[in-house]
A and B are shown apart, each in its own frame.
Chain A
Amino acid sequence: MDLAEFFPMGMGHYAIGGLLIGAGVSWLFVSTGLMGGASSFLTTVWTYVTSDKRFSSESNVSSRTWRNVYSLGLIAGAFIGVQLFGLPMNVTEVSPWQLAIGGLITGFGVRLSSGCTSGHGICGMALLDLDSILAVLVFLSTAIIVAQLVTAFGGAA
């Protein structure tokens, strides 16, 4: 069995990128004691535009500043990667409707689940949290099934 078969684009950039992501999540913890996925930000920004109590819980309001800064960091890091380090970036050709509908379903799901690929995937699994491990198995399985159905019916992949 040849590993290259499973990684036609190579392995190095995946490993190094993964370690950089882990370094970011780890540094957040070592420096501030916070555990941060990316998706809570999707809810906490709404506390700026609605006074609805369902959004303006104490934890949402008190964490919104650092979550904004974390998201700004995500944007800055990606910008530096492409503009300064010249990392390859191909603008996606996935159709706008797939992105928009998929995004809407994703936004709803990750907030119901209280975590996404980073919150459950990286932080939760690093804590050996059983619910997070189960969540990762569930969303990976569902995503694999849906993506392969989309491919079978001729969608972008």
Chain B
Amino acid sequence: MRPIALLQVFIAGGLFGLGLTYATMVQPEVVLSFLNFNDFGLLLVLGCATGLTFVVYQLVPKIRKAPLFATKFSARPANARSRTLLGALVFGVGWGLSGVCPGPAIASVGAGNWPVLYALGGMFVGAYLQGRFFSAK
């Protein structure tokens, strides 16, 4: 990937991390507050993020043949439905226990929410165990 394209990836990640922090999603208490039905803010965050992305994903490939700094629009990699849903079930257990999902876990390093490093460390180990023993053929 060209350096100019990697710079765009960095900017995209930066907006993502800034948004997570602005929306207080880097604070597990706020996520747990939603999961306990005390504050529905998380749904608003997810709705706004997905709504904007929906418009862009649907419209941009119709008006442009290629992205600005690459040759083609790529698709999301496929995964078997059974693995997707079983994985989602397992993920929900971990998320409900900790209030931390991967994006905020990574962003927490920059936000200075240090105890979340326990969760990020756990995620690396969990991803290793999945890849080592349960990777797709």
Contacts and interface: CB of A to CB of B under 8 A. Distances in A.
Q: Do A and B come from one complex?
A: yes
Interface of A: 6-9, 11, 13-39, 41-43, 45-46, 52, 54-55, 59, 65-66, 69-82, 85, 87-94, 96, 98-129, 131-132, 134-136, 138-151, 156-157
Given A81-B21, A82-B110, A112-B90, A42 B35 contact: no
What is the predominant secondary structure among interface residues of chain A facing chain B?
helix
Contacts of A32: 1, 5, 8-9, 12, 67-70
Contact of A80 (B14, B29, B50): B14
Interface of B: 1, 5-6, 8-30, 32-33, 35-42, 44-54, 56-58, 60, 66-77, 79, 81, 83-103, 105-116, 118-132, 134-135
Contacts, number: 535
Contacts of A69: 6, 9-10, 13
8 contacts: A24-B13, A29-B60, A30-B60, A89-B112, A99-B116, A103-B118, A106-B94, A109-B91
- Residue from the set A77, A100, A148 with the largest chain B CB neighbour count within 10 Å: A77
A112 B99 CA distance: 19
A74 B113 contact: no
A35 B74 contact: yes
A15 B113 CA distance: 22
A6 B85 CA distance: 29
Contacts of B128: 46, 107
B90 to A, nearest CB: 3
Contact of A146 (B12, B96, B106): B96
A143 B45 contact: no
A89 B49 contact: no
Contact of B32 (A38, A100, A118, A147): A147
B83 A142 contact: no
Scoring A71, A79, A106 by chain B CB atoms within 10 A of each residue's CB, the highest score goes to: A106
Nearest to A130: B81
